[in-house]
């Protein structure tokens, strides 16, 4: 647009940006041409794992914790995945970096449902059906009162 001779306010309006940004872009364009306007990528530090490494990690995660040496519990935790990243790629990453990497790959946090191994579903249903109604019955005839010594209801 600058090469076509458009002025800065028209460029800003057309691209729906502030005039300040458009003036900065024009200065960059004059100094370095179209290459100066090219994206420099996402701000912030470079990612620790490349896309290829993330794909390799996901394949390893799909094999399960037992395949990676954790036999006692078949759940992936961030600490375990962090250890796995260290073993596979010889990198030390934080738990936050591990979580962010998994989020980028489409994983979401999961909370396992812990239930007692001795849980008796029939006993629970029996209790809900026959005992709970008796426990939760309303107090018929019970009248609300006041504990205030100045309240007429307590005299």
Query: Do both 84 and 58 map to the same domain?
Result: yes
For position 150, what pLDDT does the model report?
74
Residue 72 lies in a domain: yes
CA nearest neighbour of 55 among 117, 2, 104, 22: 104
Query: Do both 56 and 100 map to the same domain?
Result: yes
Query: Do both 23 and 62 map to the same domain?
Result: no
Q: Is-contact 98 126, C-beta < 8 A?
A: no
Residue 116 lies in a domain: no
Query: Do both 88 and 64 map to the same domain?
Result: yes
Number of domains in the chain: 2
Query: Do both 26 and 60 map to the same domain?
Result: no
The more confidently predicted of residues 122 and 112 is 122
pLDDT band for 40, please (50, 70, 90 cuts): confident
Instruction: Report, in this order, helix, strand and coil percent for the chain, each rounded to 5.
Output: 55, 0, 45
For 27-42, the three-class secondary structure string (H helix, E strand, C coil) is HHHHHHHHHHHCCCCC
What is the extent of the structural domain holding 90?
A: 51-104
Query: Do both 97 and 71 map to the same domain?
Result: yes
116-127 tens-digit pLDDT: 778 888 999 999
Residue 87 lies in a domain: yes
Q: How far apart are the first and last CA of the chain?
A: 87
Angle between helices 51-63 and 78-89 (to 10 degrees): 120
């Amino acid at each position: 647009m600058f090469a076509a001779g458009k002025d800065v306010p028209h460029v800003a309006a057309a691209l729906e940006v502030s005039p300040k940004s458009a003036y900065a872009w024009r200065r960059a364009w004059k100094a370095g041409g179209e290459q100066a306007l090219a994206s420099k990528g996402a701000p912030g530090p470079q990612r620790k794992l490349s896309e290829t490494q993330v794909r390799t990690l996901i394949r390893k995660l799909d094999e399960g914790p037992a395949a990676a040496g954790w036999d006692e519990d078949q759940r992936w935790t961030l600490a375990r995945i962090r250890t796995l990243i260290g073993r596979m790629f010889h990198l030390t990453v934080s738990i936050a970096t591990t979580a962010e990497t998994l989020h980028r790959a489409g994983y979401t946090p999961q909370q396992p449902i812990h239930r007692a191994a001795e849980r008796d579903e029939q006993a629970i249903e029996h209790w809900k059906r026959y005992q709970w109604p008796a426990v939760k019955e309303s107090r018929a005839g019970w009248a609300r009162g006041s504990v205030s010594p100045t309240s007429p209801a307590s005299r």
